[in-house]
């Protein structure tokens, strides 16, 4: 049907453009009670007492809940109470919960709860957290239950440490004629999805638990409520409708647990919690921060010999996915370069900051900021063209990754080609700096990217297909529609395989864990890859069943039949055929006899041949494939005011076969804009007590209309052989190189090393002050 | 979501508005005048505005006036910022107003609300400070008209129960050369790091500033320095010595950086207005 690459519009487009699409909080709450969260105003404090009497007196209040008797939670390490117990560990931590008939009553009552605190010394950064006398965020770290292959270090603030030991550092440094070392730092920030998180929970008299939640991981909600609270897993049903932006923030399980304990407190009645923006930013998990040191050694002709990297991730008060983020950063710690000798310690460190969820790119934009900035410093020291240095060292088939995976033409994209393409896109040969006069410079900065996914080694995805009487097909997948258009892509894959009209594919948008086959989590750019393979498997299943019935009716061998164009037909004699609609519910002979029955296609795909990482060396195969790309930004910099605007942003990415051109472009551009906002403006600002001063969109500002540069996206196509039609993951990659490219352009423009984020003009001013420049001498 | 309920009143006249306020107070209520309502909504949800009776002044004719009478431009306090921008009778006001919040919010935010609100940037007041405008205030004894400089000291010093009805500006000011520039922490959205409005009245250079300090002000002392003879750089350095205290030091920017930005802005603006002086 030629659907591959075609810009089919989203299956949910009409709903969205007419405003009728429903997100979790849009479902009527007429039969629901409402919960409000009381949060900690302090980053680290002992809870001396909680007075709830006044709150209980408020008309309409049904329950006031505090944290005494709930189990500890956490996906990697069980370190997090559902509601703070004994002490609070970050500003905005949930301390109590009020359930009332209306949101207003709950809010009023929540404001009447008095909590007495005694402030404790605050751990402000991962670097500080590792100092010998740093206060401990978790005194009982050694006693927590945890998953295997997470390595907390009791008695310290280290939640997890991943080590990469590849080659011999001694040999690497011996071969290095030029060495550079840079330090980096940035604070946690937020995802700032348009839809704030919302969860409802109710428990029926038969013990069945029903949850509706804006989540990327409804199947994980089910598993964790079972794990934490001992509810029979089959009795838990989780529903997720459309999600209004997630970016990893909705992969963590948090608000669901509050809704669940709230429902318990009111005898199982339905309770809804809708995050206000401030609590969505502070109480629910945020975007991880990082302190890092990167040291690279190279020969004089630019072949990198050694890399030594120390990543101290600011996991915040609880490890949640932080202890996985640090591991993912270790896996790809060198950036997309072939380096024989690598030493990396990547830590998830506890601090008194809000705790971290995944963030689009899963620690890659973060690690790449540090590596790619250092690449520019190295290029300068070598006196070498910045893209040439990257080209020479670019990872290629035959090379090995930091975890010693040998790459081939299928499992890694074509980075050299991306670099060549980028060079053309940005007129690299015209030079990096153009003086526009009037104190204005046009400056280019570049960066390369790569990423593999490091989700569970056997994570799986299932799909079922059912027919309608007209031969159209219902496609049911556990992928959450978080705005990426993945479910439309799945419809394209199905329509392509069955050579049918895509309008005849009906996609179920809402996921219900009781009736929708499981997709592990809608994360890590795995939707198209895993669910795409599951769709193909389900299509095969469907085809086999159609052929089996048709072979009977047509009295031919099934092997001689083909399915497509709404028919089952003889390959060599297509006019001998049956319409699918006459077979899909079983075939009825002219005399009334029926054979066969409703055809249901089922398919699954599980990641295969992935391994855990060795504790001491990191060796192992963490992910199926690496997507690569090269990116750039062009800025206009004002030497006098130290301000800049981003004029153009570029991506040349290898996402394999492009299944839906505009959707792919949209994903890459959208991710680029997020990367620029993260690099250029977004951060939490903390005060001396560790409180976040800007947990509002008034003062925490993603990019708005009018602030965007021109986006230029080109695709390099290296099909991934084991993916549906050769498509690689594409959801995150546009973001990953943007902060680094911006930092590289600005550092060049301003003539100072800019190694902290966000790259606001004041940061440039500070660095200039530090380096003793006075603005007058410019 | 506002956690509290409130009564809503829509007086048709100034007198009725003032009377309602007094009456509600006598009844033990906490009345507030209401114009655009953006602060009541956004600060109310954080309990930073508390009220149980709002008096909407948008139905009072005088508050919606936007005309020139007797050589005076009359700007009603309940005009929305976008209404002022679109008519563009007072280009400096249009410019200062257009930097506030975003377009959707400015459809609601009013001139009076911006000047009298809690959020301390109050950029809409800058043009009126530069043009020695008069404010018309409604109170117990009816309307009174006062020079803005007498009543606006960091904020508009209203007595309890009073409200701003109009601002009167001599029309000669409307066409005088001006520059108004808003600099933010980064790019085009957000509160001002610093907003500077400069008006040239014959040989006199007038300056008003928002965002530098936790209040907007007419920079009389700085103007004197700028007014002196000498190289522009020196005059600016002298002017910077008269920056009021405290200089803001917050999430938008440190105080040191703010002064750096102010210096750059003054150089640009004054060069533009004065021509290419040394």
- B15 is a domain residue: yes
pLDDT at residue B277 is higher than 60: no
Q: Judge if B221 and B190 occupy the same domain.
A: yes
Q: Judge if B193 and B255 occupy the same domain.
A: yes
Closest residue, chain B, to A760 (C-alpha) = B186
Give the neighbor-by-neighbor strand order of the sheet with A505-507: A505-507, A473-477, A460-467, A600-606
A698, B191: Cβ pair inside 8 Å? yes
Q: Judge if B76 and B112 occupy the same domain.
A: yes
Closest residue, chain B, to A765 (C-alpha) = B257
User: What tens digit of pLDDT does each residue of B138-148 get?
Assistant: 999 999 999 99
Closest among B256, B255, B278, B258 to B267, alpha carbons compared? B278
Which pLDDT band holds residue B4 (cuts at 50, 70, 90)?
confident
Which of A111, A640, A762 has the CB atom closest to B185's CB atom?
A: A762
Q: What's the gap in Å between the CA of A264 and the closest CA on chain B?
A: 25
- B231 is a domain residue: yes
| Angle formed by the axes of helices A364-382 and A322-331, nearest 10° | 30
Q: A176 vs B277, which has greater pLDDT? A: A176
Looking at residues A542-562, what average pLDDT do you find? 97
Q: In this structure, what CATH number is given to the domain that contains residue B205? A: 3.30.390.50
| Angle formed by the axes of helices B255-274 and A761-770, nearest 10° | 100
Which neighbouring-strand residues pair with A440? A437, A638
Give the residue ranges of DSSP H helices in chain B.
Answer: 14-26, 38-44, 81-87, 91-98, 103-106, 111-116, 126-130, 148-151, 220-227, 232-240, 255-274
- Can you give the pLDDT at residue B1? 86
Question: Which of B1, B98, B186 is the best substitution to test chain A (most A C-beta atoms within 10 A)?
Answer: B186
Closest residue, chain B, to A766 (C-alpha) = B257
In whole angstroms, how far apart are CA B275 and each of A46, A237, B240, B272? 62, 72, 21, 5
B261, A641: Cβ pair inside 8 Å? yes
Q: Judge if B46 and B93 occupy the same domain.
A: no
A699, B1: Cβ pair inside 8 Å? no
Can you list the domains of chain A with their CATH numbers? Answer: 14-120+194-245+250-282 (3.90.1170.50), 286-455+611-777 (3.30.365.10), 459-606 (3.30.365.10)
Instruction: Provide the number of CB pairs (under 8 Å) joining chain A to chain B.
Output: 59
In whole angstroms, how far apart are CA A382 and each of A74, A301, A373, A749, B50? 46, 8, 14, 19, 63
For residue A106, whether the previous peptide bond is cis, meaning omega lies within 30 degrees of 0, is no
Question: Which of A34, A59, A762 is the best substitution to test chain B (most B C-beta atoms within 10 A)?
Answer: A762
Which residues, 6+ apart, have CB-to-CB distance to A777 below 8 Å?
Answer: none
Domain count, chain B: 3
Q: Judge if B81 and B16 occupy the same domain.
A: no
Q: Judge if B38 and B109 occupy the same domain.
A: no
- Can you give the pLDDT at residue A1? 61
Chain B residues with CB-CB distance to A196 below 8 A: none
Q: What's the gap in Å between the CA of A582 and the closest CA on chain B?
A: 55
Which pLDDT band holds residue A777 (cuts at 50, 70, 90)?
very low
A701, B189: Cβ pair inside 8 Å? yes
Looking at residues A584-613, what average pLDDT do you find? 96
- B197 is a domain residue: yes
pLDDT at residue A234 is higher than 90: yes
User: What tens digit of pLDDT does each residue of B238-259 get?
Assistant: 999 999 999 999 999 999 999 9
Which of A108, A645, A693 has the CB atom closest to B3's CB atom?
A: A108
Question: Which of B43, B189, B248, B258 is the best substitution to test chain A (most A C-beta atoms within 10 A)?
Answer: B189
- Give the position of tokens 């996906």: A75
Which of B47, B251, B261 has the CB atom closest to A685's CB atom?
A: B251
- Give the position of tokens 């647990």: A257
- B241 is a domain residue: yes
Q: Judge if B103 and B164 occupy the same domain.
A: yes
B185, A680: Cβ pair inside 8 Å? no
Which neighbouring-strand residues pair with B175? none
A694, B191: Cβ pair inside 8 Å? no
Which of B191, B251, B260 has the CB atom closest to A693's CB atom?
A: B251
Give the residue ranges of DSSP H helices in A338-430.
Answer: 364-382, 386-393, 415-425
User: What tens digit of pLDDT does each residue of B42-82 get?
Assistant: 999 999 999 999 999 999 999 999 999 999 999 999 999 99
Q: Judge if B154 and B205 occupy the same domain.
A: no
Which residues, 6+ apart, have CB-to-CB distance to A140 below 8 Å?
Answer: none
B254, A641: Cβ pair inside 8 Å? no
Looking at residues A659-684, what average pLDDT do you find? 98
- B158 is a domain residue: yes
Domain boundary (B56, B73, B90) is at B56
- B2 is a domain residue: no
Question: Which of B187, B188, B237, B253 is the best substitution to test chain A (most A C-beta atoms within 10 A)?
Answer: B187
Closest among A473, A492, A495, A486 to A521, alpha carbons compared? A486
Q: In this structure, what CATH number is given to the domain that contains residue B33? A: 3.30.43
Q: Judge if B186 and B254 occupy the same domain.
A: yes
Which of B102, B186, B191 has the CB atom closest to A760's CB atom?
A: B186
A103, B264: Cβ pair inside 8 Å? no
Q: What's the gap in Å between the CA of A20 and the closest CA on chain B?
A: 22
DSSP letter string, A299-313: -TTS-EEEEEEEEEE
- Computed over every residue of chain B, the mean pLDDT equals 96
Which neighbouring-strand residues pair with A633? A445, A649
Looking at residues A514-543, what average pLDDT do you find? 96
pLDDT at residue A162 is higher than 60: yes
A760, B260: Cβ pair inside 8 Å? no
- Can you give the pLDDT at residue B276? 53
Residue B252, domain extent: 177-274
A31, A235 Cβ separation under 8 angstroms: no
Which pLDDT band holds residue B278 (cuts at 50, 70, 90)?
very low
B188, A104: Cβ pair inside 8 Å? no
- Computed over every residue of chain A, the mean pLDDT equals 97
Residues of chain B contacting A, Cβ within 8 Å: 1-4, 42, 45, 47, 102, 183, 185-191, 250-254, 257, 260-261, 264
A761, B185: Cβ pair inside 8 Å? yes
Chain B residues with CB-CB distance to A762 below 8 A: 185, 253-254, 257
Domain boundary (B152, B173, B194) is at B173
Closest residue, chain B, to A709 (C-alpha) = B187
According to DSSP, the β-strands at A271-274 and A33-39 are parallel
Which residues, 6+ apart, have CB-to-CB distance to A396 below 8 Å?
Answer: A338, A407, A412, A415, A416
In whole angstroms, how far apart are CA A16 and each of A244, A245, A685, B104? 10, 13, 34, 21
Q: A47 vs B275, which has greater pLDDT? A: A47
Looking at residues A32-49, what average pLDDT do you find? 98
- Can you give the pLDDT at residue B12? 98
pLDDT at residue A226 is higher than 80: yes
- Can you give the pLDDT at residue A773? 54
Q: What's the gap in Å between the CA of B102 and the closest CA on chain A?
A: 10
Residues of chain A contacting B, Cβ within 8 Å: 103-104, 107-108, 111, 276, 640-641, 643, 645, 680-681, 685, 693-694, 698-699, 701, 703-704, 706-707, 758, 760-762, 765-766, 775
Closest residue, chain A, to B255 (C-alpha) = A762
- Can you give the pLDDT at residue A69? 86
A706, B4: Cβ pair inside 8 Å? no
Domain boundary (B34, B56, B78) is at B56
Burial (Cβ within 10 Å: 0-12, 13-18, ≥19) of residue B272:
middle
CA distance between the termini of chain A: 61
φ, ψ for residue A219 (rounded to 5)?
-70, -30
Largest Cα–Cα distance in chain B?
64
Q: Judge if B162 and B84 occupy the same domain.
A: yes
Closest residue, chain B, to A642 (C-alpha) = B261
Closest residue, chain A, to B254 (C-alpha) = A762
Chain B residues with CB-CB distance to A111 below 8 A: 3, 47
B185, A766: Cβ pair inside 8 Å? no
Q: Judge if B41 and B106 occupy the same domain.
A: no
User: What tens digit of pLDDT does each residue of A737-753 get?
Assistant: 999 999 999 999 999 99
Q: In this structure, what CATH number is given to the domain that contains residue B94? A: 3.30.465.10
A707, B188: Cβ pair inside 8 Å? yes
A760, A681 Cβ separation under 8 angstroms: yes
Which of B47, B191, B250 has the CB atom closest to A111's CB atom?
A: B47
User: How many CB atoms lie under 10 A from the CB of residue A708?
Assistant: 16
């Amino acid at each position: 049907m030629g659907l591959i690459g075609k810009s089919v519009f989203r299956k949910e487009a009409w709903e969205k453009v007419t405003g009728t699409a429903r997100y979790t909080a849009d479902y009527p709450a007429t039969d629901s009670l409402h919960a409000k969260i009381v949060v900690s105003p302090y980053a680290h404090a002992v809870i001396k007492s909680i007075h709830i009497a006044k709150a209980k007196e408020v008309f309409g209040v049904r329950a006031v809940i505090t944290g005494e008797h709930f189990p500890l939670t956490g996906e990697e390490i069980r370190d997090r109470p559902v509601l703070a117990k004994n002490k609070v560990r970050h500003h905005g931590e949930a301390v109590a919960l009020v359930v009332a008939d209306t949101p207003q009553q709950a809010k009023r009552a929540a404001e009447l709860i008095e909590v007495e605190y005694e402030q404790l010394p605050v751990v402000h950064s991962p670097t500080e957290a590792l100092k010998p006398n740093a206060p401990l965020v978790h005194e009982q770290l050694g006693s927590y239950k945890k998953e295997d292959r997470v390595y907390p270090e009791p008695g310290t603030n280290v939640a997890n440490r991943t080590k990469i030991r590849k080659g011999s550092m001694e040999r690497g440094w011996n071969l290095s004629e030029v060495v550079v070392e840079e330090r980096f730092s940035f604070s946690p920030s937020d995802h700032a999805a348009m839809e704030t998180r919302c969860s409802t929970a109710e428990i029926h008299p038969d013990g069945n638990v029903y949850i509706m939640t804006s989540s990327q991981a409804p199947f994980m909600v089910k598993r964790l409520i079972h794990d934490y609270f001992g509810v029979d897993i089959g009795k838990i049903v989780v529903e997720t409708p459309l999600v209004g932006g997630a970016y990893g923030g909705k992969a963590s399980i948090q608000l669901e647990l509050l809704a669940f304990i709230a429902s318990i407190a009111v005898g199982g009645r339905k309770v809804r919690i809708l995050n206000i923006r401030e609590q969505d930013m502070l109480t629910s998990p945020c975007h991880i921060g990082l302190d890092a040191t990167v040291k690279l050694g190279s020969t004089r002709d630019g072949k990198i010999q050694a890399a030594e990297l120390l990543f101290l991730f600011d996991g915040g008060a609880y490890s949640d996915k932080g202890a996985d983020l640090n591991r993912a950063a270790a896996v790809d710690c060198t950036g997309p370069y072939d380096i024989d000798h690598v030493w990396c310690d990547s830590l998830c460190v506890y601090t008194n900051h809000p705790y971290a969820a995944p963030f689009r790119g899963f620690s890659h934009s973060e690690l790449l900021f540090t590596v790619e900035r250092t690449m520019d410093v190295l290029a300068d020291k070598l006196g070498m063209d910045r893209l040439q240095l990257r080209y020479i060292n670019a990872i290629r088939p035959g090379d090995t990754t930091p975890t010693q995976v040998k790459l081939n033409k299928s499992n890694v994209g074509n980075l050299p080609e991306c670099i060549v393409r980028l060079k053309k896109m940005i007129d690299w040969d015209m030079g990096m700096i153009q003086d526009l006069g009037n104190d204005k410079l046009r400056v280019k900065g570049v960066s390369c990217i790569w990423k593999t996914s490091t989700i569970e080694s056997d994570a799986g995805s299932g799909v079922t297909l059912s027919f309608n009487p007209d031969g159209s097909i219902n496609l049911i997948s556990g992928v959450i529609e978080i705005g990426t258009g993945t479910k439309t892509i799945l419809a394209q894959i199905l329509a392509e395989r069955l050579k049918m009209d895509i309008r005849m594919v009906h996609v179920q948008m809402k996921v219900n864990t009781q009736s929708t086959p499981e997709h592990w989590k809608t994360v890590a750019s795995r939707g198209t890859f895993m669910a795409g393979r599951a769709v193909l498997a389900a299509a095969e299943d469907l085809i086999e069943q159609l052929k089996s019935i048709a072979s009977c009716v047509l009295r031919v061998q099934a092997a001689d039949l083909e399915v497509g164009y709404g028919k089952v037909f003889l390959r060599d004699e297509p006019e001998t055929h049956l319409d699918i609609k006459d077979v899909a519910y079983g075939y009825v002979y002219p005399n009334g006899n029926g054979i066969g029955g409703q055809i249901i296609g089922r398919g699954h795909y599980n990641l295969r041949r992935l391994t855990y990482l060795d504790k001491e060396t990191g060796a192992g195969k963490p992910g199926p494939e690496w997507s690569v790309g090269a990116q750039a930004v062009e800025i206009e910099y004002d030497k006098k005011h130290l301000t800049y605007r981003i004029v153009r942003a570029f991506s040349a990415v290898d996402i394999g076969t492009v299944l839906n051109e505009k959707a792919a472009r949209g994903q890459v551009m959208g991710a680029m804009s997020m990367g620029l906002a993260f690099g250029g403006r977004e951060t939490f600002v903390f005060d001396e007590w560790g409180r976040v001063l800007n947990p509002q969109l008034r003062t925490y500002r993603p990019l708005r209309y009018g602030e965007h540069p021109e986006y230029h996206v080109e695709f390099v196509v290296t099909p991934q052989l084991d993916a549906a039609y050769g498509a690689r993951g594409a959801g995150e990659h546009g973001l990953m190189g943007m902060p680094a490219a911006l930092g590289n352009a600005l550092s060049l423009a301003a003539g100072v090393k800019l190694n902290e984020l966000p790259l606001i003009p004041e940061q440039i001013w500070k660095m200039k002050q530090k380096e003793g420049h006075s603005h007058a001498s410019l | 979501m506002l956690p509290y309920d409130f009564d809503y009143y829509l007086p048709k006249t100034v007198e009725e508005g003032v009377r309602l306020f007094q009456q509600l107070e006598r009844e033990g209520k906490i009345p507030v005048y209401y114009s655009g309502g953006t602060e009541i909504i956004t600060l109310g949800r954080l309990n930073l505005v508390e009220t149980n009776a709002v008096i909407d002044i948008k139905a009072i004719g005088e508050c919606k006036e936007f005309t020139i009478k007797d050589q005076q431009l009359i700007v009603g306090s309940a005009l929305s910022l976008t209404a002022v921008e679109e008519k563009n009778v007072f280009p400096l006001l249009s410019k200062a107003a257009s930097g506030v919040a975003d377009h959707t919010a400015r459809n609601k935010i009013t001139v009076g609300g911006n000047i009298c609100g809690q959020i301390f940037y109050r950029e809409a007041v800058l043009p009126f400070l530069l043009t020695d405008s008069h404010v018309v205030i409604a109170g117990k004894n009816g309307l009174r008209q006062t020079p803005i400089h007498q009543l606006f000291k960091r904020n508009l010093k209203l007595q309890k129960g009073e409200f701003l009805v109009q601002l009167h500006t001599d029309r000669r000011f409307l066409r005088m050369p001006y520059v108004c520039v808003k600099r933010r922490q980064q790019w085009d959205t957000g509160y001002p790091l610093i907003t500077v409005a400069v008006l040239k009245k014959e040989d006199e250079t007038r300056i008003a500033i928002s965002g530098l300090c936790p209040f907007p002000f007419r920079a009389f002392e700085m103007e004197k320095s700028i007014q002196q003879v000498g190289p522009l750089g020196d005059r600016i350095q002298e002017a910077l010595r008269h920056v009021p205290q405290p200089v803001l030091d917050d999430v938008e920017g440190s105080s040191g950086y703010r002064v750096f930005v102010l210096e750059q802005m003054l150089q640009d603006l004054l060069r533009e207005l004065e021509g290419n002086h040394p």
